[in-house]
Amino acid sequence: MVTVPMSTQIGRGTQQVIHGRLRVYYDGYWIKAYDVPADTLLAKKRLIEALTRRLFNHTEHGINIPGGRLEEARLAFDTEPDPQRRRIKGGMLAGALFNRAADIITKLVEIQAMGVVIQPDNELMRHCGEHLREALELGKMVLHRSGDEGIDELWGEPFKAFAYPIEEFYKSRYMKIAMTMSAIDLIAAELLRTFGDLPMFHGLEPLVASFATAAKAKSETLRTDPEIFEVWTSFVASAEKLAAFEPVLSACPSSLELDWAQQGMQLVNGGKELVSYITRARVPMPKSTREWSERCERYRLNCAVRRENAVSITLIS
């Protein structure tokens, strides 16, 4: 991953070989570029299958319903009066719709392999698009596996892979990766702003920087990339080192000092988890980021009050 300052001189989509690797520029970041596969039905099938697996991997449990149970899932959703239960069943219906669309494309690819030409206006292709479009709408009900918010961007990817040329889909992927990297940088900056001036957290800054760098590299690297072994290892190892950080305490820490350290580490680990979620899903999580940032702000304010009180006590003494 290569970061550069925002520039109006470099256009979106500009490609350049940097350190021997082809990269593409989007919104301040030079991102690893990959060859675009031929725009065939088989390529779309593989892409939609991969995107659907990724979607189910990051959303709440229980929504990966087989496409063969679509009618059952729809009936369960349509007849559910309770809003909370209806939300959950809506996610299950969305999962069934995605899987039904994947089933249809699989069969179409098999038919095409027999020499039958499949036109874009084929009725089954139309049904596939309708299923993906409906799943996209229902996906707004589904939460990220953390339970904090939805990740609408992931629901839209399989439909985009179906509806648009693969080259256009890859462009949208790079834009989302740039947004993801920006979100990672924002969280890292918030961690440094919160803990950078606290002696108790001296030594945290290089761990945060290393983790953010590794997270951005992971967000741009495909699983099929030969570099994934080093990239994933660096990401996990840097996360473990950040989580293992121990605040620097006085020889006989007071209960207030211990509480201060504990609250701080909860925020550090919360930021680490948030970056991990964002990195693996490769989409920002604005609601979760905003709520975590608000907790950081409250912690900073409490720290300032405690420092003022400590100075007052010292002066009085």
Q: Residue 71, Cβ neighbours under 10 Å: how many?
A: 10
- Looking at residue 157, what is its pLDDT? 82
Alpha helices by DSSP H, listed for the chain, are 41-58, 70-78, 83-113, 123-138, 152-163, 166-195, 204-220, 228-243, 255-281, 286-316
pTM to 2 decimals? 0.82
Average pLDDT over residues 86-111: 90
- Percent of the chain whose predicted confidence (pLDDT) is above 90: 57
Determine the straight-line distance between the first and last CA of the chain, rounded to whole angstroms. 53
pLDDT (tens digit, 9 = 90+) per residue, 19-72?
999 999 999 999 999 999 888 888 888 888 888 888 888 888 899 999 999 999
Q: What is the model's pLDDT at position 8?
A: 53
Between 70 and 308, the higher pLDDT residue: 70
